[in-house]
Structure 1
Amino acid sequence: MLFDRFATRRPPGWLIAALAVPLLLVTALLVGRALTATPARQTAPPAAAPPATTAAPSPSPQESVPPAAPPPDDLPVVTYDPAPRGFPPDPDPADTRPLSEGLRPNRNVAAYDAPGGRPLAFLAPTISGVRLTVPIVERRSGWTAVLLPSANRTIAWVPAGGWTTVVLRDQILVERRTHRLTWSRDGRAMRSWPVSLGMSGQLTPLGRTFVLGRTPPPEAVYGGVDVFALGAIPDDPDSVPPGLRGAHIGLHSWHNDDALGKNVTNGCIRLTRSAQRLLLAEVEPGTAFVVVDRLP
C-alpha cells in the first residue's frame, strides 16, 4: 500500500525540527493578521438617476385597501325599480366563465362604487319578497364585487360583514345570432333549446346578469308556467309598451312555439314550456345568466 511505503521512510529528527519552527512562526503570523484585519468596505454601485416623470406604482395584491366609509342611513335601497346610478361598469360583461359563488345579504348591506369608495345604495335581503342572491365577479382585500340588481352590465363593491356566500352550480348562456339558450351545470352543458329574442329597437340586452327570482305568469299568453325575472332591465326603458314599463327582462314560455328562433319579443327570452318547467325545477336564484351576440 502507498500509505505503508510512505510511513517506513522517516527523515532525520534534526531536519524535522529545523523545518517545523519556521513553519509554525509563519502560520501564527498569518492567523494573527486574519483575525485583526479590518474588512474592506464594499462600495455600492452608483444609483441611476430617476426619470423626469414617473407613474404611480400600481397597488400590489398585499397592499391594504382603505376601509369602508360609514354609509348614511338615508341611502336608497336597491329594489325592482332601476338601480341608482354612479356604480361602475362590469369590467368584462361578455365573460362566459361560470360564476360559482353568490353573495346573500343578511341585512341591509351598503354597496360602494369602488373598494374604499363612496356608498351609493343598500342591498337588502329581499327584493319584492324574493331572497336576494347576487353572483360574485371579483374579490380584493376586504372587498367583494357583485353584479348589481336592476341594472345592466354594472357591478357594486361590498365590504365584509352582513352577508354570507352560497355555491352557484348553474349557468345560462344565450346567443343572439343563433337564437340558442344553453343551460350548464358545473361547467358542463346539460341542455340547449331554441329561443325567441327581442325585436329591433327592443333587443335583448347583452352582458352578464343573473336570475333574480320567479313569479307567477301575469297573463294566459305565458302558457301557465312561472316566469324567471332577471337582474337586467331594458336598455331603453322608454321603448317598451306602456304596460311593461318598469318590468325586468324575463325568461319565460309562451302559449305557442311558433316564433321560436325569431326576434319578436319586447326584450325577454322565450322558450318552450317543457324547457321552462325544467329550468324552474333545477335553477336557483342567483344563477349567472349571460347574453352574448355569438360565441367565438
Structure 2
Amino acid sequence: MGVLVLASCLFGGLAEVIDPAVPPASAPALAAPPVSVPAPVVKPRTVVLRAAAPPKDLPVIKYRYAPGGFPADPDSTSAAPVTEALHPSRRLAVYDKPGGTARAYLPPHIRGVPVIVPIVGRQPGWVAVLLPSVNRRIGWVPARGWTSRPLRDQLVVRRGTHELVWLRDGVRQKAWTVAIGSKRTPTPLGRTFVLGRTGTHGSVYAGLDALVLGAVPDDRESVAPGLRDAHTGIHAWHRASAFGRSVSNGCVRMPPAAQSELLREIAPGSLVVVLD
C-alpha cells in the first residue's frame, strides 16, 4: 500500500491515474472549422474603341503638308526615352483620338524615304505617334497595319546652353556645342524625330548628309521663301565660330566629326527633344 500511495503522490500532479482494466472514454468530437470560399475575381472588361472607316478623300501627310485637327503632344517637353516606333505597312488612317475622327493618312514613304514614327502613347487597341510635317502634334492609329521598330537613341538639344546630347538606352554617350536657330528663326521647341537623311550641296556642309527632322519652322513667313516648305535639320557646318551661337535658320549646326558620328549611329525614328 505504501508503494501505491507514494506513486500516486509522485505522478498525481502530472496525469490522472488510469486503471488498465477500464477503457478510456471517447474524446468529444470537435466541430470542423468553417471553410472560407474566396469570392470570384471579376476582371474589368477591356473596351477597345472601334476605328470608323476613313473617308475616301482623306488627305495624305506629305513633306510640305500636314492637315490640322490633331491634338497637341501632352508631353512635348519630356526627355523620357522612347523605345519603339512604327512603320506603316500601307497608307494608315490617323485619328484625333482613339475611336475618334480620321484626319489624314500616314503614308509608308515620304519622298522615297520610309516613314518611321515614334510611339509616345497607348490605349487598348490604339497607339499614339508623333507626326511629321507639323510641330508638337500627335495622332492615334489602330494597333494594326504597321510593323514595330525598336529605338535606342535619343538626341536632346538645349537652346540655352547650345548643347546637343546623344543618349543610347537612356545613357549619355557624347555631347557637343552646336549652333541653333536665331531669335527670328528659332529651332522649334518640343519633341520631334529623325525623319531621314538627305544629301547637301556646298562646302559649308563639309560634304556630309543632313539628318532631316519631322519638325518644320514655327513661323514659315520668318524664313527665306526658299526655306518655307523645308524641315528643320541637323547638319555639319564648316566654321567653328558658329558653335555656341544662335545664328541659323532653325537647323542645328554640328562640328563635322560629330555629324559623321550621328550619321553612323542615329536611325530614322529616333527621338529628338529641343528644350530651353
Compute the TM-score of the two structures, normalised by the length of structure 2.
0.85
Deviation at 1:63, TM superposition (A): 4.1
Deviation at 1:220, TM superposition (A): 3.1
Map residues 66-215 of structure 1 onto 2, 5 A cutoff.
66-215=49-198
1:146 is paired with a residue whose SS is strand
Deviation at 1:82, TM superposition (A): 2.9
Checking the alignment, whether the CA contact within 8 Å between 1:61 and 1:141 is kept in structure 2 is no
Deviation at 1:66, TM superposition (A): 1.9
User: Which residue identity is paired with 1:200?
Assistant: K
User: Which residue identity is paired with 2:187?
Assistant: T
RMSD between aligned residues = 2.2
- The residue aligned with 1:246 is 229
What is the rounded CA distance, in whole Å, between the counterparts of 1:143 and 1:4 in structure 2?
76
Q: In the alignment, is residue 237 of structure 1 matched against residue 237 of structure 2?
A: no
- The residue aligned with 1:7 is 18
Deviation at 1:8, TM superposition (A): 3.4
Q: In the alignment, is residue 285 of structure 1 matched against residue 274 of structure 2?
A: no
Q: In the alignment, is residue 227 of structure 1 matched against residue 227 of structure 2?
A: no
Deviation at 1:195, TM superposition (A): 0.5
Q: Please, which runs of 5 or more residues in structure 2 have no aligned partner?
A: 1-10, 23-42
1:96 is paired with a residue whose SS is coil
Checking the alignment, whether the CA contact within 8 Å between 2:83 and 2:152 is kept in structure 1 is yes
What is the rounded CA distance, in whole Å, between the counterparts of 2:232 and 2:114 in structure 1?
18
Structure 1 residue aligned with 2:247, among 260, 264, 278? 264
User: Which residue identity is paired with 1:141?
Assistant: P
- Cα 1:141–1:263 shift into 2, 3 Å: same
Checking the alignment, whether the CA contact within 8 Å between 1:108 and 1:122 is kept in structure 2 is yes
What is the rounded CA distance, in whole Å, between the counterparts of 1:61 and 1:175 in structure 2?
44
Checking the alignment, whether the CA contact within 8 Å between 2:85 and 2:148 is kept in structure 1 is yes
Deviation at 1:65, TM superposition (A): 3.3
Checking the alignment, whether the CA contact within 8 Å between 1:150 and 1:232 is kept in structure 2 is yes
Deviation at 1:74, TM superposition (A): 1.4
Checking the alignment, whether the CA contact within 8 Å between 2:95 and 2:102 is kept in structure 1 is yes
1:281 is paired with a residue whose SS is helix
- Cα 1:102–1:108 shift into 2, 3 Å: same
- Residues 120-158 of structure 1: CA deviation (Å, up to 9, x unaligned): 111111111101100010111000000011111110000
1:275 is paired with a residue whose SS is helix
What is the rounded CA distance, in whole Å, between the counterparts of 1:203 and 1:61 in structure 2?
48
Moved more, 2-11 or 202-211: 2-11
Compute the TM-score of the two structures, normalised by the length of structure 1.
0.79
Deviation at 1:222, TM superposition (A): 1.7
What is the rounded CA distance, in whole Å, between the counterparts of 2:149 and 2:65 in structure 1?
25
1:5 is paired with a residue whose SS is coil
What is the rounded CA distance, in whole Å, between the counterparts of 1:279 and 1:94 in structure 2?
22
- Residues 213-263 of structure 1: CA deviation (Å, up to 9, x unaligned): 000003332221101100000110111011211000000011222110000
Q: Which has more helix, going by share of residues?
A: 1
- Cα 1:226–1:4 shift into 2, 3 Å: closer
What is the rounded CA distance, in whole Å, between the counterparts of 1:82 and 1:173 in structure 2?
25
Deviation at 1:160, TM superposition (A): 1.9
